[in-house]
Amino acid sequence: MRIRSIIYVACIQAALGISMLQADTLAPGDLTAPFAVQPFVGLGVTGGVTQPFFSDLSALSLPGPGIVDVLGNIQAFDAGGNPISTFQLTGVTVTQGASSLMPPLQAFIVPSPTTYVSTLNPLNQVTLVPSALNLAFTFNSDSSFQYSYTLDVTGIPDGGFLLYDDVEGAKVPEPGAGWLLLPVVLWSMVRLRKRFRLRTGAPPAG
């Protein structure tokens, strides 16, 4: 009985672990049009925090409140314009009206160069490349679809700045892939249970 319980718990933890692992990164499949694209965003840094980036998506026909904001091809420079190779983005604070939230910054994985074109201004387009630092965050907007965000950074002195391409799109609903594996997990549990009975000589259930 104890062995069966251990098997059940291990299988369930495996399914949940797969689901949590998938949530650790974002990819092009996690966002869809319409897109807002701003190339070459430059934000100054003071005290480890950037200037705010302001966004107004109210003119886009977004299908729901979910937004994915991608920070692509991220670079850092000191006050003299010299590149900084060792820096980190450690957090983001999103502000809407009087409310603020801190969604996690996640790696944005592009397996090959991926181009995004602005829905309202097709001249604004950027290409994200796999070799660059690409991050993203998601949140649910209020009905205004207007917000700002600041970034927490380390390794960039006062007067330095971040340079990156900003892409905003509609969040694709989570498919719940971890739970899609539940039939496979249950099938594995049945097989393991049968093997346990054969080895111990336990009579079949029922």
Query: pLDDT band at residue 201, thresholds of 50, 70 and 90?
Result: low
Query: Cα–Cα distance between 6 and 125 in angstroms, integer?
Result: 52
Span 158-186, average pLDDT? 77
- Residue 159 CA to residue 185 CA, distance in Å, equals 54
Distance CA(58)–CA(146), nearest Å, equals: 7
Is the pLDDT higher at 201 or at 48?
48
What is the average per-residue pLDDT within 181-188?
48
Whether residue 175 is predicted with pLDDT greater than 50 in this model: the reply is: yes
> For all residues of the chain together, what is the average pLDDT?
84
pLDDT of residue 11 exceeding 80: no
pLDDT in tens, 91-102: 999 999 999 999
Q: What is the rounded distance in angstroms from the CA atom of residue 97 to the CA atom of residue 154?
A: 27
| Band of pLDDT at residue 155, cut at 50, 70 and 90 | very high
Q: What is the pLDDT of residues 108-145, one digit of tens each?
A: 999 999 999 999 999 999 999 999 999 999 999 999 99
pLDDT digits (tens, 9 = 90+) for 56-91: 999 999 999 999 999 999 999 999 999 999 999 999
Cα 194 from Cα 206, distance rounded (Å): 13
Cα–Cα distance measured from residue 70 to residue 139, given in angstroms and rounded to the nearest whole number? 12
| Non-local CB neighbours of 88 within 8 Å, separated by 6+ positions | 153, 154, 155
pLDDT at 24: 85
Percent of the chain with pLDDT over 70: 73
Distances, alpha carbon 170 to alpha carbons 66, 101, 122, 167, in Å:
6, 19, 17, 10
DSSP 143-167: TT-EEEEEEEEES--TT-EEEEEEE
- Name which of 177, 21, 178, 36 is nearest 109 in CA terms: 21
The answer on pLDDT for 35 being more than 90 is: yes
Q: Could you tell me which residues come within 8 angstroms of residue 110 by beta carbon, excluding any fewer than 6 positions away?
A: 27, 28, 128, 129, 130, 134
